[in-house]
Amino acid sequence: MLYHVKMDVSIPRDIAVDEIEAIKAAEKKRATELQESGKWPHLWRIVGQYSNISILNVDNNDELHALLSSLPLFPFMTIQVTPLAKHPSSIV
């Protein structure tokens, strides 16, 4: 099942810089794992924002929630999820 997911990140300013860098490194590692597994086939940066648009390919809502909550930046995210269905005019 495909999902369009918008993730907006807002890290509080009172977190130490070294802690933020460690969280970002862990986030990159986890995102790479999920992309390599095929669960996260598309990841796009939104220009000028600390946000992304992603397409995630998982079996159901519970798997999606588990995937998103496994992200190290999850506590600092506002997430919007839109389930996707094949368009009848799509040729792919």
- The whole-model pTM stands at 0.92
Assess if residue 89 is contained within a domain. no
The domain containing residue 14 runs over which residues?
2-84
How many structural domains are present in the chain?
1
Is the separation of the CB atoms in 44 and 53 below 8 Å? Answer: yes
Whichever domain contains 72, its CATH number is: 3.30.70.1060
How far apart CA 16 and CA 77 sit, in angstroms, is 18
Q: Which of 52, 65, 56 is nearest to 9 (CA)?
A: 52
pLDDT category at 78 given cuts 50, 70, 90 is: very high
Confidence of residue 54 (pLDDT cuts 50, 70, 90): very high
pLDDT for residue 92: 85
Residue 92 resides in a domain: no
69, two tokens? 């909550």
In-domain check, residue 22: yes
The encoded tokens of residue 88 equal 């009848």
| HSE toward the beta carbon, residue 77, CA cutoff 13 A | 20
* Domain assignment of residue 42, yes or no: yes
- Nearest residue to 57 via CA among 31, 34, 89: 34
Residue 41 located in a structural domain: yes
Residue at 23 is within a domain: yes
